[in-house]
Amino acid sequence: MNFFDKLREYRKTITEIENSVYGNKQDYLEIYERNLELEKEIAARTQELNIANKRMLTLQHIWEMMNSARPLESVLETIVNSLQGELGYLHSTILRKQTDEKGEFLSVIAEAENPVIKRVNNIINIPMQMRRLNYIENSIYAEALNEKKITTIKNIDRALREIIPDMPEDTFNQVMRGMRSKLLINIPLYTRNRPFGLFCVFSSRDELAESETDFLTIFAQQIEMAITIADLFQAVREQAVTDALTGLYNRRYFEEYISKEVTRSLRQKQPFSVIGLDLDFLKKINDEYGHAYGDLAIKTVADVLKKNARSIDVAARMGGEEFNILLSGIDSTGAMAAAERIRKAIEERELDTIGHITASIGAATFLEHSDSLDELLELTDQAMYQSKRNGRNQVTLAKPITETSWQEIAVNTFLDILSKHNVHIEKSLSEELSAKLQSINEQTEMPKEILYSTADMLTKSYNPLHEQGVVKSKILLASSLAKRFDLSKDEIDKLRIAILLYDIGNLMLPKEILQKSSPLTDEERSQIQMHPLIAAREILQPISYIQDIIPIIEHHHENWDGTGYPGKIAKDDIPITSQIILIVDAYFALTEHRPYRAKLSAIDALNEIKKDTGKKWSEALVQEFVTLIGQDLN
C-alpha cells in the first residue's frame, strides 16, 4: 500500500470517528433536553400536588369544624379565611338570600378578614356586613343561584354596582382604584334543595382552571353541609325549648329561665313580675267547633303575647290553655298595666266561626309578693284562678303572704301526731322528724320541703320501696289537677294537707301485710281496706283543726261506680278532692316498684287508668288527668 492509499485509509477512519462523535453528541443533547422537560413536568406535578394537598387540608379543616359545637357564624368565618390564606385568593365572602317586606335582598353572613375588605369598608362608611345588598333577577348573582352553576365575571365594577346601586360615583371610583381582583367567582349554595345564597371568591387570576372549578364545587358542598348541620341543630334546639303549636317557649325553658332571673333579681335587688294567663272556655270551643278551632284560639293568644311582649320578656305556653309571661325589671304596677293590655288585646280579636275569646289573668311580683320562686308561681296561679272564679276575662293581682295556712296546719298536725305517739314508728324516727318540724319557725326558708320530707320518711318506714320526693310530686300534680276543676284556694289547700296525711293509717297496719309479695288473703285485704278509717277516726279525729280534711281522707278509696271502700258511695257523693287523691295515688303506685310487680312507664300507667274509666273514676277526671300528664311527657 503506497503513501496515498494509507492517507485515504486514515481519512476514512477519521471520518468514521467524527461521525460517531457527532452521533453521540446528538444523543446527549436529546437526553439533556428530555431531562429538562422531565424536570419541568416534575415541578408542575409537584406544584399541583401541593395545591391539592392544601385543598385537602382545607376541606379536612371544614369537616372538623362541622363536627364541633361552634356556632355557624364562627365556622363560616373560619372557612372563608382559610380559603383565602391557604389557597391564595384575594377575598371570599358568603352571601345569604333573604326576604323582608321590601322584597328579596342579600346579606353578608361571613367574610374574610384582609386589607382588601378593610379598605373597602373604610371607604363606603357602612361595612358590607351591615348593609342590605341589592338582589335582582337579571343580576350575575341571580344567574348563579337560579341556574345552580358556578359563574365568573371579569367586570368587577359591574359586580359591585349590582349589589350597591346607590353608591355615590366618587365613592365607587375610589373603591375601584385600589381593586386588584381580576375575576369574581360566584358559587351557588343550596341547603335541603332550597336556595341559601352565594359563595363569592375574588381571584387575582383572570381565568378559572378546570381543577379549580372542581375544588370550589367540593368546597361549596362542604359549606352547604355545614349550614345544613347548623340548621338541623338549631331546629332541634328550638324544638327542645319551644312549643310546636304556638312557637312560644315551653314550660322547660320558662322554668330554667326564671330560675336565672331569680338569681339576677336577688343580686341586683330588682323586682320582676310573672303574668299567668288561662284561656277561657277552651273545652267548650273544642266541643262545639272542634279541636282545630281550639288550636286557633290558643295560637291567637300566643300571637297577642308576641306582639305585646318586649324583647327581654319571656312568654311561654305552660301546657294546654295556660301561659306565663316573665316581665324582667317590672313591678306590680307595671305588671297589672301589661296584663290589662294583653287581656284587652285578646278580647278585641275576632276569630273565624268562634267570634271573640277571653282570658283570665293573674299577676305577682318577685320581692314584692314573695322572695320564694315556688311561692311566687303559686301566687300567680291563685290570682289567675281567682279571676276565673270571679267571672273570667279579668286581671287579678296576687296578695302578699309570708306563710300559707295549709303549711302551718300540716306542721302542727304532724307535731301533734308524733308527740302523742299514736302511730307505730320507731322513737328515733319520731324524734328526728319532730326536731325537723320544730326547726321551721327558727328558719327563714319555706317549710314545704320539710313537710314533703316528713311525709316521705313516714311512708318509707312501712314501704321500703317508696322513693324520696314522691309526696312533693303528688301534691304538685294533684294541685294542678284541682285547678282544672276550678277548685278554690281553700279547697286546694285542704287537698294538699290530705295528701300529706291520707296514707298515715298504714302506720297502724302490720308491715308483713303491707310488704307481702304474694297475693293477699281476704282477711289481709280487709285489714288494708281499713286504713282510711284508721287514719280518719283513730289518728286524725282528735285533732280539732283538721276536721274538714278528714272526709277527704276517709273517702279517698271510693270508686266512681260505688265499688270502692269503706263507704261504697258513688259518683258526685264522693268529694272531688278524694277522687283526685285516688287517681293521683293510683298513677304513682303504677309507676313505682312493688314487691309483686315491676313499675310501669308513664304511658302504660295512663293506659291502665283509662281502662277503669267509668268504674274507678269519672270520664271527666280521666280526661283532665291524661291531658295534664301528657303535657309533662311532651
Percent residues over pLDDT 70 in the chain: 78
Sequence-distant (6+) residues with CB within 8 A of 390 are 396
State whether residue 597 is helix, strand or coil: strand
User: Tens digits of per-residue pLDDT, 203-240?
Assistant: 888 888 777 788 778 777 877 777 777 666 666 555 57
Locate cell 325553658: which residue?
A: 253
What pLDDT, on a 0 to 100 scale, did the predictor assign at position 319?
A: 86
317 sits in which H/E element: strand 314-319
Whether the CB-CB separation of 558 and 565 falls below 8 Å is answered with yes
Q: What are phi and psi of 382, to 5 degrees?
A: -65, -40
* Range name among 128-137, 446-455, 524-533 with the lowest pLDDT average: 524-533
Sign of the Cα torsion 158, 159, 162, 163 reads: negative
- Whole-angstrom Cα distance, residue 503 to residue 501? 6
Residue 564 to residues 215, 584, 612, Cα–Cα distance (Å): 77, 16, 12
Q: Find cell 293521683 and name the residue.
A: 584
Per-residue pLDDT tens for 273-299? 999 999 999 989 999 999 999 999 999
Higher pLDDT, 522 or 275: 275
pTM over 0.75: no
Q: Are 416 and 435 a contacting pair, CB within 8 Å?
A: no
Helix 470-483 and helix 448-462: axis angle, to 10°? Answer: 120
pLDDT at 633 over 90: no
Q: Which of 3-12, 271-280, 528-537, 594-603 ranks highest by mean pLDDT?
A: 271-280
Question: Distance (Å, rounded) from C-alpha 135 to C-alpha 147?
Answer: 15
Q: 405-633, superfamily in CATH? A: Hypothetical protein af1432 (1.10.3210.10)
CATH superfamily of 89-215: GAF domain (3.30.450.40)
Euclidean distance between CA atoms 343 and 134, whole angstroms: 42
Q: At 157, which amino acid appears?
A: D
β-strand pairing of 359-365 with 350-351: unpaired
142-156 residue pLDDT tens:
999 999 989 999 998
- Reported confidence tier of residue 372, pLDDT bands at 50, 70, 90: confident
Please tell me the distance from the alpha carbon of residue 631 to that of residue 505, in angstroms, as a whole number.
33
Confidence of residue 271 (pLDDT cuts 50, 70, 90): very high
Which string of DSSP letters, residue by residue, matches 422-480?
-S---HHHHHHHHHHHHGGGG-SS-SHHHHHHHHHHHHHHH-TTPPTTHHHHHHHHHHH
Please determine, for residue 241, whether its predicted confidence score (pLDDT) is greater than 90: no
First to last CA, the chain: 122
Domains 89-215 and 405-633 are alike in CATH topology? no
**Adjacent-strand bridge partners of 185:** 152, 201
The grid cell for 383 is: 290570682
Q: Check residues 615 and 10 and name the one with the higher pLDDT.
A: 615
CA gap 622, 569 in Å, rounded: 19
Residue 509 CA to residue 490 CA, distance in Å, equals 31
Strand, helix or coil for residue 248: coil
Provide the edge-to-edge strand list for the sheet that holds 133-134: 133-134, 103-111, 91-100, 194-203, 183-191, 151-153
Q: What's the longest Cα–Cα distance across the chain?
A: 163
**Residue 618, SS3?**
coil
pLDDT tens figures, 314-365: 999 998 899 999 999 999 999 999 999 999 999 999 998 999 999 999 999 9
Output b/e per residue, 204-223; b: 16+ Cβ within 10 A: eeeebeeebeebbeebbebb
The neighbour count for residue 396, using CB atoms within 10 Å, is 23
What local confidence, expressed as pLDDT, does residue 382 receive? 78
Q: What is the DSSP string of 73-131?
A: HHHHHHHHHHHHHHH--SEEEEEEEEEETTEEEEEEEEE--SHHHHHHHHHHSS-GGGS
pLDDT of residue 70: 58
C-alpha separations of 393 from 346, 356, 364, 365, 618 in Å: 9, 11, 17, 21, 29
What confidence tier does 62 reach under pLDDT thresholds 50, 70, 90?
low
What is the average per-residue pLDDT within 245-270? 91
Mean pLDDT, residues 610-624: 93
Per residue in 561-615, pLDDT tens? 999 988 899 999 999 999 999 999 999 989 887 666 778 888 888 999 999 999 9
Per the model's pLDDT, the better-predicted residue between 599 and 23 turns out to be 599
* Alpha helical stretches, state H, 129-250: 140-147, 156-163, 169-177, 210-241
C-alpha distances (whole Å) from 40 to each of 32, 34, 37 are 13, 10, 5
Q: Residues 147-160, buried b or exposed e (16+ Cβ, 10 A)?
A: eeebbbbeebeebb
Most confidently predicted of 40-49, 58-67, 118-127, 278-287: 278-287
How confident is the model at residue 31, as a pLDDT?
A: 59
Looking at the predicted structure, is the pLDDT value of residue 187 above 60? yes
User: What are the b/e assignments for 380-391, b being 16+ CB within 10 Å?
Assistant: bbbbbbbbbeee
Q: Where are the domains of the chain?
A: 1-51, 89-215, 249-397, 405-633
Spatial strand order of the sheet with 359-365 comes to 249-250, 314-319, 322-328, 272-279, 359-365, 395-397
Choose between 529 and 273: higher pLDDT. 273
Average pLDDT, the chain: 82
pLDDT, tens only, 388-440: 878 899 999 987 754 446 887 888 788 877 876 667 778 888 888 888 887 77
User: Any idea what DSSP says for residue 546?
Assistant: G
Report pLDDT for 444.
42
Render pLDDT for 374-392 as a digit per residue (tens, 0 to 9). 889 878 987 888 888 788 9
Q: Which CATH superfamily is domain 249-397 in?
A: Reverse transcriptase/Diguanylate cyclase domain (3.30.70.270)
